[in-house]
């Protein structure tokens, strides 16, 4: 199956999840964040928003077990990894090499003025 056919097959699920997120909580459907991958290549990760708070700024609070910011719909999305599907779309459309899965978050050099080296933080589910 080609990437385009796979994407078309996923469209109904993407639409249903988008609607569920909108009905469950306020805010955008897609969560976007700058991350660093292999060889510190910067890319924009896309995920379905699973939390009530969308942090913008230099301080990012990592999700933890039983985090109260996770929405009802978000809890299901995270358990099933459906929250990662927009990243698959990102990979197919933009040829971004950040693949879906339990990723690692890297400290943002911009937030620290480049003083702190990249540090991996395990993404808690």
**pLDDT digit string, tens, across residues 25-78:** 998 999 888 888 878 888 888 899 999 875 666 667 777 888 888 999 999 999
Alpha carbons 117 and 36: distance in angstroms, whole number: 12
What local confidence, expressed as pLDDT, does residue 56 receive?
64
Per-residue pLDDT, 107: 41
Number of structural domains in the chain: 1
The whole domain housing 52 covers 3-122
Dist. CA 34–CA 103, nearest whole Å: 13
Q: CA of 63: how far to CAs of 41, 76, 103, in Å?
A: 23, 15, 13
Instruction: Compute the distance between CA of residue 22 and CA of residue 74 in angstroms, rounded to an integer.
Output: 11
Q: What is the pTM of this model?
A: 0.66
């Amino acid at each position: 199956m080609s990437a385009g056919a796979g994407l078309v097959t996923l469209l109904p699920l993407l639409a249903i999840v988008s609607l569920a997120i909108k009905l469950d909580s306020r805010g955008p459907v897609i969560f976007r964040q700058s991350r660093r991958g292999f060889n510190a290549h910067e890319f924009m990760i896309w995920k379905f928003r699973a939390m009530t708070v969308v942090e913008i700024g230099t301080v990012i609070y990592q999700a933890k077990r039983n985090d109260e910011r996770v929405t009802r719909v978000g809890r299901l999305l995270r358990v099933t990894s459906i929250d990662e599907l927009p990243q698959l779309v990102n990979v197919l459309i933009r040829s971004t090499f950040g693949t879906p899965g339990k990723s690692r978050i890297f400290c943002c050099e911009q937030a620290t003025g480049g003083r702190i080296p990249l540090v991996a933080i395990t993404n808690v589910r």
